[in-house]
């Protein structure tokens, strides 16, 4: 599975990236609360990649 920064992101703006990150953070917390630690870890990794992509977009 390609990482977020390696694939073409479907997000059009930094705002959309921020919204997706916030949604995934809630999903990660829910997974951890449900003791689904592998899912939480995968979601955490996706969040990290989206944050990297956001930094690149913000840097220009």
pLDDT digits (tens, 9 = 90+) for 10-54: 767 899 999 999 999 999 999 999 999 999 999 999 999 999 999
Residue 47 resides in a domain: yes
- Global pTM reads 0.79
Q: Distance from CA of residue 43 to its chain's centroid? A: 7
Asked if the model's pLDDT at residue 7 lies above 60, the reply is no
Range of the domain at 44: 14-59
| CA 57 – CA 60 distance, rounded (Å) | 5
Owner of token pair 């956001």: 54
Residue 51 resides in a domain: yes
Helix and strand element counts for the chain (H, E): 2, 0
Structure tokens at 54: 């956001």
Count of structural domains, the chain? 1
The candidate with the shortest Cα–Cα distance to 16, out of 60, 45, 48, 57, is 57
Residue 40 resides in a domain: yes
Asked if the model's pLDDT at residue 8 lies above 90, the reply is no
Residue 8 resides in a domain: no
């Amino acid at each position: 599975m390609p990482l977020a920064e390696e694939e073409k992101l479907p997000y059009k703006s930094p705002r959309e990236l921020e919204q997706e990150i916030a949604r995934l953070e809630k999903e990660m917390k829910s997974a951890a609360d449900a003791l689904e630690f592998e899912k939480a870890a995968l979601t955490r990794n996706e969040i990290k990649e989206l944050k990297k992509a956001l930094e690149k977009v913000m840097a220009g």
